[in-house]
Amino acid sequence: MKKQNYILIFSLFILGVNSWAQGLEEQIKKQENKIIELETERVATLSKLEQLKLKKIQKDLFKVGFPKGDFGVQVVQHQAMVLGYDEKHEQARWVMHMVIPDIETGNTSRTNDFREDSLVTTGTAVKADYWYSGYDRGHLAPSADFRWSPIALSESYYYSNMSPQLPELNREKWAELENLIRDYVLENKESVYVITGPVLNDSLPKMKNKGRVNEVSIPDMYYKVIIDNTGKEKRGIAFLVPNGNCTYPIMSYATSIDVVERLTGLNFFPLLSDSDKVLLEYSYQEKDWQLGFNDGNVTPINPTTLPKGKINTVQAKYNIGTNSCVCGTVVSTKYSEKSGAVFLNLDKKFPNQIFSVTIWKDARENFSYLPEVELKGKKICLTGKLTNKRGTPTMNITNEKKIEILE
């Protein structure tokens, strides 16, 4: 074959390879553009979905009605929450929002874009009012409830949604209460209505930090009101929490919505039917709001209801090393066949036990009944020396005379 033919064949081969490679590049580019188009469409769809969910929340809030009271508050409607701002105290008397199941997949990061609320016509508190005051800018409607929506999350950082909370409340029991509500929503796959606010009155002190612009009142108590009005079983509960170090389990602060209404002078859900208001506002069941390992736990006995000389299970940790009479409800029992001992937990089950009792094998023989059977579910008072076992107050009981069954 002549040299010219080889050259021609080789040239055609090179052209073919180049054409094939160019075709592959075009296909790759086409698929890359398609991904960009799909991502653009996805972002637009998510934005539209977010707007639709925010509109539904607004509609649902309107359905039950905003809190009403004889106070000169400005009602401010944002996309994810509604609030009643009290200029006299430079904070909201109430903030109303919904916690929806979307919190399970919400991954929007905290923005920390604290700023004034331009919709409050009289102006809100500002950074200088809180800076170096010793108080946290405590969210009333928590930012974590809005991580499913960038718009809602950003709104939660308005100063109209802030109230001065001591760090030991804001970072501990208050956060625990907020988590309890989210856990309920995740467990039941149902939305709940939440109204949060400070208990305000004219005698409250003001923050006096240097450089402040406004006179912000310091509440001594906060409330949360929650109703599940969407599920098969309608439920309601409220919490009253002091602005400070809260040592009792969170359910110790639970109360009925009616109690908070009378304390604050607010009618929380004015558009509910009379029958629903009676069902949701005048009673509550702790067990409906205790989930997972908390199920079956009870609220420690209110110490003010106990006779002199008797304490509850929470107070036990402050009396380690003393002979005390501790009262509570036996929520779990265990008999060990290996050691022959009986173990009791009062008020809170393992692993969140707050007071434990041991009846060793020799002591168990002093009982005329099986303590692991007879005492389960009973309210009792036990007398003995309090010791500390891995951080949990514990008492060893030697005979049944050391136990008083209250019911």
Which pLDDT score, from 0 to 100, does residue 317 have? 87
Give the residue extent of every domain in the chain: 1-64, 65-294, 303-405
Residue by residue, DSSP assigns 26-58 as HHHHHHHHHHHHHHHHHHHHHHHHHHHHHHHHH
Going by DSSP bridges, is the β-strand pair 392-396/356-359 parallel, antiparallel, or unpaired? parallel
> Is the pLDDT at 332 greater than 60, yes or no?
yes
The predicted model scores a pTM of 0.72
> Is the pLDDT at 11 greater than 70, yes or no?
no
Domain 303-405 of CATH type 2.40.50.140: yes
β-bridge partners, 357: 344, 395
Instruction: Give the model confidence (pLDDT) of 362-372 as tens digits.
Output: 999 999 999 99
Distance CA 130, CA 213 (A): 10
Residues 178/171, Cβ–Cβ less than 8 Å: no
65-294: what fold? Extracellular Endonuclease; Chain A (3.40.570)
Instruction: Give the model confidence (pLDDT) of 295-308 as tens digits.
Output: 678 878 877 788 89
User: 378 to each of 329, 398, 404, how far by Cα in Å?
Assistant: 6, 19, 10
Cβ contacts of 385 within 8 Å, gap of 6 or more: 321, 322, 323, 324, 395, 396
Which pLDDT score, from 0 to 100, does residue 39 have? 85
Which pLDDT score, from 0 to 100, does residue 198 have? 98
DSSP reduced 3-state for 158? strand
Work out the number of other CB atoms within 10 angstroms of the CB of residue 368.
7
Question: Which phi and psi angles does 131 have, rounded to 5°?
Answer: -65, 130
